[in-house]
A and B are shown apart, each in its own frame.
Chain A
Amino acid sequence: MSFGHTLLGLLEEGPQHGYELKHRYDEHFPGARPLPFGQVYATLARLHRDGLVDVAAVESGAGPDRKVYVITPAGVSEVDHWIDAPTPPGFVKSEVFSRVVVALLSGRDPDAVLDAQRAAHLAHMRDVTERRRNADLVGAMACDFELFHLEADVKWIQHAARRLEKERTRSRKGARS
Chain B
Amino acid sequence: MSEPPNGSAAEQTVGPLLEAEDLSKHFGSTVALDGLSLRISGGEVVAVLGPSGSGKSTLLLCLAGVLLPDAGDVRYRGRSLVAVSDTVRTRLRRDEFGFVFQFGQLVPELTAADNVSLPLRLAGLRRGDAVGRAKEFLASLGVEEVANKRAGEMSGGQAQRVAVARALVTRPRVIFADEPTGSLDSTNGELVMELLVSTARRQASTVVIVTHEPQVAAYADREIVVRDGRLAHDAALV
Contact = CB atoms under 8 A, between A and B. Distances in A.
Contacts of B215: 125, 129, 147-148, 151
A151 B212 CA distance: 11
A155 interface: yes
Interface stretch (B8-16, B92-100, B230-238): B230-238
B200 interface: no
Contact of A115 (B47, B219, B233): B233
Interface stretch (B71-79, B106-114, B220-228): B220-228
Interface in A119-169: 119, 121-123, 125-126, 128-129, 133, 147-148, 150-151, 154-155, 158, 161-162, 165
B220 A121 contact: no
B217 A122 contact: yes
Interface residues of B, number: 22
Contacts of B51: 158, 161-162, 165
Contacts of B238: 123, 126
Interface in A72-129: 115, 118-119, 121-123, 125-126, 128-129
Contacts of B28: none
Task: State the main secondary structure of chain B at its contact with A.
Answer: mixed
B151 interface: no
B115 to A, nearest CB: 28
Instruction: Say which size band chain A's interface belongs to.
Output: 20 to 34
A122 B214 contact: yes
Contacts of A118: 49, 223, 225, 233
A139 to B, nearest CB: 15
A126 B232 contact: no
Contacts of B49: 118, 158
Nearest to B221: A126
A151 B237 contact: no
B212 A158 contact: yes
Interface of A: 115, 118-119, 121-123, 125-126, 128-129, 133, 147-148, 150-151, 154-155, 158, 161-162, 165
15 contacts: A119-B237, A121-B214, A122-B223, A123-B235, A123-B236, A125-B215, A125-B217, A126-B221, A126-B237, A126-B238, A147-B215, A151-B213, A151-B214, A154-B214, A162-B51
Q: Which 10 A-B pairs have the closest CB atoms?
A: A125-B218, A119-B235, A154-B214, A123-B237, A115-B233, A151-B214, A129-B218, A126-B218, A126-B237, A162-B51
Given A118-B233, A147-B218, 16 more contacts: A115-B225, A115-B232, A115-B235, A119-B223, A122-B217, A123-B238, A126-B218, A126-B219, A126-B220, A128-B218, A129-B218, A129-B219, A133-B194, A151-B215, A154-B217, A161-B51
